[in-house]
Amino acid sequence: MLSTPEVVNKNYDLIYEPAEDTFLLLDLFEELQPYFVTKKFNHKTPLVVEIGTGSGIVSTFINKYILPKSVIISTDLNPHSCVSLISTNKHNNPQSSNLDAIRTDLVSGFHNNSIDILVFNPPYVPAEYIPSVEDAEKNEYNWVDIALNGGPEGMDITNKLLDRLDQCMSVDGEAYILFCARNKPDVVVEQFKRKNNSNFSVERVIHRKAGWEELSVYKFQKLR
Ligand X SMILES: C[S@@+](CC[C@H](N)C(=O)[O-])C[C@H]1O[C@@H](n2cnc3c(N)ncnc32)[C@H](O)[C@@H]1O
Tell which one of 9, 70, 81, 142 touches ligand X (CB under 6 A).
Answer: 81
Decide if residue 73 touches ligand X (CB under 6 A): no
Decide if residue 49 touches ligand X (CB under 6 A): no
Tell which one of 5, 52, 151, 154 touches ligand X (CB under 6 A).
Answer: 52
Shortest Å, Cβ 121 to ligand X: 4
Decide if residue 147 touches ligand X (CB under 6 A): yes
* DSSP-assigned beta bridge partners for residue 101: 74
Decide if residue 22 touches ligand X (CB under 6 A): yes
Tell which one of 5, 9, 14, 18 touches ligand X (CB under 6 A).
Answer: 18
How distant, in Å, are the alpha carbons of 7, 51, 186 from that of 68? 19, 18, 33
Q: Are 89 and 143 in contact (CB under 8 A)?
A: no
Phi-psi label, residue 77: left if phi above 0, alpha if psi -120 to 50, beta otherwise: alpha
Q: How far apart are CA 103 and CA 82, in angstroms?
A: 7
Q: How far apart are CA 82 and CA 188, in angstroms?
A: 29
Decide if residue 142 touches ligand X (CB under 6 A): no
Chain residues in the site for ligand X (CB under 6 A): 16, 18, 21-22, 25, 51-55, 57-58, 75-78, 81, 105-106, 121-123, 146-147, 157
